Amino acid sequence: MAKRKIVVALGGNAILSNDASAQAQQQALEKTAEYLVKFIENGDDLVISHGNGPQVGNLLLQQIAGDTPHNPAMPLDTCVAMTQGSIGYWMQNALGRALGKRNIDKQVVSLITQVIVDETDPAFEQPSKPVGPFLSKEEAESEMERSQAVFKEDSGRGWRKVVPSPKPISINEHIVINQLVENGVIPITVGGGGIPVVKKGNELRGVEAVIDKDFASQKLAELIQADLLVVLTGVNNIYINYNQPNQKQLNEVTVTEMKGYIAEHQFAAGSMLPKVEAAIAFVENSKNGKAIVTSLENIEYVLTEGAGTIITK
Catalytically active residues are: 12-13, 129, 213, 275
Q: Which one-letter amino acid corresponds to residue 238?
A: I
Closest C-alpha to 237, from 209, 258, 222, 210: 258
293 strand-pairing partners: 231, 309
| Three-state DSSP string of 62-75 | HHHHCCECCECCCC
In 3D space, the residue among 4, 166, 194, 168 whose CA is nearest the CA of residue 88 turns out to be: 194
Q: 53, 12 in Cβ contact below 8 A? A: yes
